[in-house]
Each structure stands twice: as C-alpha cells, then as structure tokens.
A = this chain, B = another copy of it.
C-alpha cells in the first residue's frame, strides 16, 4: 500500500497497538476524536467521524482506511452507538467510496457474536478441549447494543462492497491486552489478542488480496472458540502468541 492509510480511532487501544507494531510500514494519516497529548509524528486530523467535512478532508488521496473509531464501551447506550458507531461508519464508507478508496478494514468485535456464549455452552466453550467454533459466516448474535452496532458496521461493509466494489475486511477483535493475557478470566484467555498479533493482522488485511471478509482477530490460543483458519488462509495471518503459553503473568518456558 503506497498511498496514505487513514487510521481512525488512532488514540484508542487498538490504534496504539497498530502504530507501535507497524507504524513505520505505512504512510499513516491519523484521525483522533480529541487532540492527542503528544504531537503525532504523522499527518493528523481531529474530529468526529460523523462530520462530513473533516472526514472528507482526511480522506483525500487515501488508498485504504482502517476504521477503529467509535464508542468502545460494551455498556455504551443506544444513542451513542447509533451515532458514533453506526452513523459514523456509514459516513466513513460513503466518503471512502466517493473518493475511490480501494480497501476498508473495519474493527468489528467479539461482541457482535457475544450471545453465542449461552449458559449451556459456558464455561466449557472457553476451554481447550471444547470443539465449538465460530468461523465468521454465522448470522450475528450480539451480546449488547455495542455488539449490534458492530454487526451493523459489518453489514454496511457488505453493502458498500457489493454496490461499489470496495474491498472490505471486518476483523472481530477479541480481548486485546498488553504484555500478557487476562489473568483468571477464561473468556479473555480464549479470545486474547496480543499487541503484536493485533498489528500483524491489520497489516495482513492491508496487504492481502480478497473481496469481502469477516475474520476473527485473536491470537492462536489453545482455548479459542473462534476459528482463525479464514484469517490464515485468506489474509496470510500467522499469529505469534497463544494465551496458553502464559501462567498467571509469567510466560511458560518452552521445555525443549
């Protein structure tokens, strides 16, 4: 990707993981919701993704968008996700296709399918021996209104791909934590995404050749109930981490 890549939500947790990991590999154009504390090294914009004017300015000459911006709270109220996540994502797509942007990577979420974690299936589904898998082809089952907004973002991507041909990758991001997996939290260990795997899967989504994809963004955790086969096959994703390699906050030494 030689042209600039517009990264929204650049100040958030996922945005920081991406910039730390692959910040020097792209000509980034950053989009922040509020003025960042430190002056960014890349060109940047501050505004709301529902604001046509600033998004239009930010989209000029962009080759790809990585759209992370939105209310990230799983308890976010409807009015906030309706505006920030649903309306904001539609605005990003509309202006992206207007500008002939080639590729759009959308930060979806495990919460788009959170209600598959039924009382009958949990906690067994979080454990290594359990063989239940979601593969990205399923009809969404959001666990909260935030998840509804993320599933809607995926469907907007489906529409803008089918109607305008823009390449779309939806990454259902798991549990991103820095350094080590969540402790004493089986669900979080099942869907852990390390910072370096987070950066890598976004680079894969920017580089690979595909049409429309929904993939799970997690590390290669023994406990996983999200399949990463599609991400490996289509995007060339090669996760380097696995929550099973950690015991508490200590990495388990490889005995060999």
Contact = CB atoms under 8 A, between A and B. Distances in A.
A42 to B, nearest CB: 30
B158 A145 contact: no
Nearest to A147: B159
A78 B159 CA distance: 13
A208 interface: no
Given A158-B140, A158-B141, A163 B86 contact: no
Contacts of A144: 159, 163
A214 B140 CA distance: 13
Interface string A100-144: 000000000000000100000000000000000000011111111
A155 B143 contact: no
A245 interface: no
Interface residues of A, number: 27
A226 to B, nearest CB: 16
Nearest to A90: B78
Interface string A53-92: 0000000000000000000000000100010001100100
A139 B138 contact: yes
A152 interface: yes
B82 A87 contact: yes
A162 interface: yes
Residue among A78, A151, A155 with the highest chain B CB neighbour number at 10 A: A155
A158 B139 contact: yes
A55 to B, nearest CB: 14
A222 interface: no
A164 to B, nearest CB: 11
A206 interface: no
B214 A115 contact: no
A27 interface: no
A148 interface: yes
Contacts of A143: 159, 162-163
Contacts of A147: 159
A145 B151 CA distance: 15
Given A82-B90, A142-B158, A148-B152, 12 more contacts: A82-B87, A86-B152, A115-B162, A137-B139, A139-B139, A139-B140, A141-B159, A141-B162, A142-B155, A143-B163, A151-B155, A152-B152
